[in-house]
Structure 1
Amino acid sequence: MPLPTIEWEGNIEGRVRLIDQTLLPAEIKYIYCEDLKSIWRAIKTLMVRGAPAIGIAAVTGVLLGIKDIRTDDTEAFFKELKNVTNYLGSSRPTAVNLFWGLSRMERVAWENRDKPVHTIKEILLREAINVQNEDKSICRQIGENGAKFIKDGDGVLTHCNAGGLATADYGTALAVMFKAKENGKKFKVYADETRPLLQGARLTTWELMHAGIDVTLICDNMAAHVMKLGKIQCVIVGADRIAANGDAANKIGTYGVSILAKEHGIPFYVAAPVSTFDLNITSGDEIPIEERSSEEVTCGFGKRTAPEGVKVFNPAFDVTPAKNITAIITEKGVIEKPSTENVQKILGK
């Protein structure tokens, strides 16, 4: 089983323990976030990453923010709470689970605004732990719902990392693979390295190897050739935000993989929890795309690979249109041929 990625330790005066994913696979190191700025930095610098894990970072980050609010005045508390959620929301704009987690904590606080501040804090602690435990259950259900799409002897391509490291401990796209293996199926996984930060090479291969799943690492630009050779029977990826019509934002390069899969007649599946859907936006055109520093491209992992001063465009995500997606696998069920109507059939309005 994957290692616990992120969790709250202790009472309301506690701390967040998380795996520093920037050090993997060379080193497994837990870091401890004990204040608001440290969890913001962990999210921003990708020490914690993956939409569901970022959602957990959001709710535990709220706990770090409110534990230092020393007031019994409810109005003053809610003012500070808003400052906390606004600050955490500035860390990464694309992963909707971040804002889902922050909104959930704000809503629970407001529902209990007639209670003393110390009681509201305790209620928020329980809610954050609920989010963490729910994620474990949700990911296992995603795996259960999606395992049928992997057949004995299949080759499965995945992009980036949507495993236990991207969630509380089990994954979304990789949950489908973990469950298929538990069901006794034998299959091979091809993992794109995922430029520029190599989440596929560093994280996905590491998780699958530890799970005893046959995995082969390929460069991103090898995917078309591997498909042409007949080695791929399905593609399974995660998502960071899904629009009401089924358009799905995921790590940069996913859109290109979907085009290649469509060209070769290969099913393309997205595995994601309901919390990754943003039903307030009608299509992927409205999804904000985070742009990250040029150094991630020019100086990856401390070694300069491009001339000083070169211009760099570094979007962290792209959007795969619903027409390229065979189905979206959620904990509530499978959305076949994603569209606004078919999303509503599973999720409601």
Structure 2
Amino acid sequence: MERADKDLAFLLRYENVAWYENGKVRILDRRIYPRKIEFVECETHEEVAKAIADMVTQSGGPYVAAGMGMALAAYEVRNKNEKDILEYLERAAYTLSHARPTTSENMLNVTNSALSIAKDSLSEGKRVDEAIFNSVIEVSNNKYSKISKVANYLVNNFPNKGTVMTQCFAETIVGFMVLESRKQNKDIKYICPETRPYLQGARLTASVIQDMGGDVTVITDNMPGYTIGKKKVDVFTSAADVITMDGHVVNKVGTFQIALAAHYWGIPYFVTGAPNPKHPGVESVNIEERDSELVLYHLDTKATMDGVKGYYPAFDITPPQLCSGVVTDKGIFSPFDLNSYFTSDRDCEDKSSILI
């Protein structure tokens, strides 16, 4: 199998996202990357779930980690009978998929797939942990190949010598966005808001772009509105944790305010990802609120007086009116017509460029 992570940055290589081997799952600690390159080693699937909940890995990383966690769970009960193995894996699937509430519906796709593979492997007399691991790699490969198509549609909307603002860390699309820009001979400058309190934009997005030879500038989270006008930003883009069927974009908190600024300045906002039929409307989404103490710190340094309170919603909601298009592997769709994504069986070439 030719690996689709070829030519991508260190952070996006399969082994550096999450990896199962020798009865352990190794996860790159994105909370401290790139200043330190350290891996968290998990010896149980509960430790993998805790690593996901503790933000050791973020963006698309938890989905890979959950799959590897299921392989580890299978290893934990490798000497049990079939009934006990399946019961244990069902409990592990719930633990891993519910490590973070906002993405639990999407995570269930990963864990349920692993359960199905486990049942097939047991009936065929194969090692369950190896079968799940191999499936995770195959799924990652297919996902990367699909995201390269998404990048093509997205970059079609970048002008040559343009400036693009991102938000948080959009995982694989960031790397393929840089590769596709190079392929299309477009000289693009990138601006990344830092994304407090974990600074994913500064540490992860900017690192991937820099690692791949791109031109990238980091700004603080209170600068996008001014910067879009001052630096003549052409496009704002982000990924999404959930895109509801009624066109709402649930993504890292701060996305909404940048979309508002983009609308004011008259530039398009393109979100990458697929609509989720399990979320017909935004009321079905549970917005995770994390430890409020985290916003009182900048990395490890406390910035406030004792007694000051914090508030930390991990995500916000951008309404469809502020989104110019949902960029998918099938083309770009209006946020007001996302059912078409599921009824379309073509690459939607005629939808590859949408103006605001």
TM range (shorter): 0.7 to 0.9
| Structure 2 residues not aligned, in runs of 5+ | 1-7, 347-356
Match of 2:180 in 1: 179
- 1:132 aligned residue (140, 149, 158): 140
The amino acid of 1:56's aligned partner reads V
User: What is the rounded CA distance, in whole Å, between the counterparts of 2:173 and 2:47 in structure 1?
Assistant: 26
Q: How does 1:107-186 map to 2 (within 5 A)?
A: 107-110=116-119, 112=120, 115=123, 118-162=126-170, 166=171, 171-186=172-187
SS in 2 for 1:99: helix
Deviation at 1:308, TM superposition (A): 2.2
- Note if 1:193 corresponds to 2:191: no
Match of 2:97 in 1: 89
Q: Give the fraction of aligned pairs with identical amino acids, expressed as a percent.
A: 26
Q: Please identify, of 188-197 and 35-44, the stretch whose mean Cα deviation from structure 2 is larger.
A: 35-44
CA RMSD of aligned residues (A): 2.3
The amino acid of 1:88's aligned partner reads L
- Note if 1:67 corresponds to 2:65: no
Deviation at 1:337, TM superposition (A): 4.3
Q: How does 1:223-242 map to 2 (within 5 A)?
A: 223-229=224-230, 231-242=232-243
The amino acid of 1:53's aligned partner reads G
Structure 1 residues 114 and 211: CA distance shift in structure 2, 3 A: closer
User: What is the rounded CA distance, in whole Å, between the counterparts of 1:197 and 1:346 in structure 2?
Assistant: 38
User: What is the rounded CA distance, in whole Å, between the counterparts of 1:345 and 1:313 in structure 2?
Assistant: 41
Deviation at 1:251, TM superposition (A): 0.5
| Greater length-normalized contact order (CA 8 Å, ≥ 6 residues apart) | 1
Structure 1 residues 232 and 43: CA distance shift in structure 2, 3 A: same
User: What is the rounded CA distance, in whole Å, between the counterparts of 2:238 and 2:92 in structure 1?
Assistant: 32
How many residue pairs end up in the alignment? 334
Deviation at 1:26, TM superposition (A): 0.9
Q: Please identify, of 66-75 and 220-229, the stretch whose mean Cα deviation from structure 2 is larger.
A: 66-75
Match of 2:325 in 1: 327
Whether the aligned pair in 1 keeps the contact of 2:20 and 2:133 (CA below 8 Å) is no
User: What is the rounded CA distance, in whole Å, between the counterparts of 1:264 and 1:240 in structure 2?
Assistant: 25
- Note if 1:215 corresponds to 2:216: yes
TM-score by length of 2: 0.86
Q: Please identify, of 288-297 and 93-102, the stretch whose mean Cα deviation from structure 2 is larger.
A: 93-102
The amino acid of 1:148's aligned partner reads N
Task: Report Cα offsets for 1:153-208 as digits up to 9, x if no partner.
Answer: 2111111111xxx3xxxx12453233112322112111111122211112222221
Match of 1:8 in 2: 19
User: What is the rounded CA distance, in whole Å, between the counterparts of 2:137 and 2:218 in structure 1?
Assistant: 35
TM-score by length of 1: 0.87
Task: Report Cα offsets for 1:15-43 as digits up to 9, x if no partner.
Answer: 33332111112112234333213312221
